[in-house]
Amino acid sequence: MKDQIVRFLCDPIRTGAYCARLTVPYQTIIDLWQFTREVAKKKKKRFRVEKPEADREYFKFMSTSGYPYFLDRVLDALLSSLIELGDICPKEVRDWADYGSIVINPLYYSEEDPELRKEDVFFFAPQSYFEDIKDAIGITIDDKAGPDFVAEVSSLTPKALSKFENFVRAIPCLESKIVLRDEGRQHSQRSVYNLYPAVEGLWIDTIAHKSISRDTIDYLSEAVSYIDKKEWRMVIILCALSTEGILADIFEDVTLEESPEEPLGALMQDIGKKRKFPPNVLKSLNTLNDIRNNALHHKGLASLTRKEALLSLINSTKFALWWSFNCKDFNQAREMSNLKS
């Protein structure tokens, strides 16, 4: 499984992701709301979840006002209430809550929102990972589909998708009314980019420390957290910094001199005078450097998007993995060069 995680990070499109599409009809959400409210009333428990709106224009207004993910907040609140009601809650929902609580950072979480706490459970988080089965899952919610709840789900293996299906089909009132369409293994950018941050988080927190330096891990971990916050420029800068740190190490290994305080592109040129990177590695470095320059100097890109941020994460991770597996070969090449001179 470790090999599959690394293989995906190095070449996500070739590796692919297992995908499904979930549709929860609006009336089913209302049924769940009524069911949970009635059970809470019988058990004399507080129930504070407002009844979801059905008006499509209301959904459009909320989306354009900066609240595109509020429907899954309603579902989160309903399922959290269900857990608090005790034995009425299915085991599969409780199990998924344990996974949901380790989410990196839900998209709709805000430091300024007093109603949300970091310890809250997020059942439809944009990315989660599962250390026990070494798998990850990404969920992209279609905020224009309201009042129905529609989400694209992707995972590294079928195991996580199976767990997700067991969870959603165990929710009271949803069992036979939801539509979960299995789309099989997909290799499109849309599918794998949706999943990439979740697999990155799994790798960082479980196996990266075995081959990657602490500084690199910290930069990449911060980059993943900023993807969740949609801070694309910060993602790009952190990815560039992670790569610059590795390039500084390479410079010192190749030249036996202290690395200069130079940005990514200049370090690439300095090293290139002594040692040539393989074409695929050089391509990753050039892509990352171009995006970095655009982010810092506003060249070429009118506005940064999630795609540029993910390309930065992918290329910086690919470079870190390449270096972790090939640094010995680089050092040996340097030693042979010294012997010949």
Beta bridge partners of 128: 137
Q: Residue 68: pLDDT above 70?
A: no
Between CA 142 and CA 37 the distance in angstroms is: 27
Query: In terms of CATH architecture, what is 207-340?
Result: Up-down Bundle (1.20)
Burial label for 341, CB within 10 Å (0-12, 13-18, 19+), is exposed
Of the ranges 90-104, 178-192, 224-238, which is most confident? 178-192
Residue 128: predicted pLDDT: 86
Which amino acid does the sequence have at 32?
A: L
Kindly indicate the confidence band of residue 329, based on its pLDDT and cuts at 50, 70 and 90: low
Tens digit of pLDDT for each residue in 131-187?
Answer: 889 999 999 888 777 778 899 999 999 999 999 999 999 999 988 899 999 999 999
Residues of the chain with CATH 1.20.120: 207-340
Query: Cα–Cα distance between 181 and 264 in angstroms, integer?
Result: 44
Q: Are strands 135-141 and 149-155 parallel, antiparallel or unpaired?
A: antiparallel
Q: Is the distance from CB of 160 to CB of 136 less than 8 angstroms?
A: yes
- Strand pairing partners for 22? 151, 180
State the Cα–Cα distance between residues 191 and 16, nearest whole angstrom. Answer: 8
| Chain-centre distance for alpha carbon 164 | 16
- The CB density around residue 65, as the number of other CB atoms within 10 Å, is 9
Half-sphere exposure of 245 toward its Cβ, with a 13 Å CA cutoff? 18
Q: Check pLDDT > 70 for residue 86.
A: yes
C-alpha to C-alpha distance for 147 and 37, rounded to whole angstroms:
20
Summarised one tens digit per residue, pLDDT across range 263-303 is 888 898 888 888 888 899 999 999 999 999 988 876 544 57
Report the SS3 class of residue 149: strand
Taking the C-alpha atoms of residue 123 and residue 259, their distance in angstroms, rounded to an integer, is 46
Angstrom distance (rounded) from CA 196 to CA 314:
8
pLDDT at 80: 86
Report pTM. Answer: 0.85
The per-residue pLDDT of the chain, averaged, comes to 83
User: Would you say residue 25 has pLDDT above 50?
Assistant: yes
Q: How confident is residue 254, by pLDDT bands cut at 50, 70 and 90?
A: confident
Higher-pLDDT residue of 289, 115: 289
Q: Which residue has the tokens 């293996």?
A: 157
Phi, psi of 150, rounded to the nearest 5 degrees? -125, 135
Token pair of 187 as six digits: 């290799």
Distances (CA, A) of 56 to 59, 143, 152, 207: 5, 11, 20, 45
Tokens describing residue 336? 């042979």
Question: 10 Å Cβ neighbour count for 187?
Answer: 12
Instruction: Reply yes or no on whether the pLDDT at 65 is more than 70.
Output: no
**Residue partners of 222: CB distance under 8 A and separation at least 6:** 234, 238
